[in-house]
């Protein structure tokens, strides 16, 4: 295995997990709006967002969820893994300045297809803000 390879399917075990943390900045939200095209004022306009139930600007839910992809692509399983599916439940907002922690955990292995199912969460402190499940195709040694 070279440094550009991730973890091979054969090396995965149920219960194995990995995390990625990021403090969400104003620049992250602004850049995500530009890349995604989602310019909802709840993300970009402090005056507008202040009148909402959130009482201020919040990060895009998909920005928070994208941190899960970061774990998959860089940590577990890492480079070479391919997303097949992802479910997401958005449970609480992420505000600018919050540190979001994405965590993935192997919950099932499907050897015949070299696929793995993961529990996925993003949390801010003790609060789960995104909850879901993903299936990935994972490279095999064979």
Separation CA 14–CA 121 (nearest Å): 16
Band (pLDDT 50/70/90 cuts) for residue 142 is confident
Q: Domain segments of the chain: what residues? A: 9-23+61-137
21 in Cβ contact with 99 (< 8 Å)? yes
Q: Which fold has domain 9-23+61-137?
A: Thiol Ester Dehydrase; Chain A (3.10.129)
Give per-residue pLDDT as tens, 38-64.
999 999 999 999 999 999 999 999 999
């Amino acid at each position: 295995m070279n440094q550009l390879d991730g973890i091979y399917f054969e090396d995965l075990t149920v219960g194995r997990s990995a995390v990625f943390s990021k403090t969400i900045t104003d620049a992250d939200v602004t850049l995500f709006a530009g890349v995604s095209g989602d310019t909802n004022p709840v993300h970009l306009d402090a005056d507008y967002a202040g009148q909402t139930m959130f009482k201020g600007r919040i990060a895009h839910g998909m920005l928070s969820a994208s941190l899960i992809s970061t774990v998959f692509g860089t940590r577990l399983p890492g480079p070479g893994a391919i997303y097949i599916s992802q479910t997401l439940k958005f449970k609480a907002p992420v505000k600018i300045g919050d540190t979001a922690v994405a965590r993935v955990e192997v919950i099932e292995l499907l050897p015949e297809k070299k696929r793995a199912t993961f529990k996925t969460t993003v949390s801010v402190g003790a609060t789960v803000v995104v909850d879901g499940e993903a299936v990935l195709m994972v490279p095999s040694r064979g």
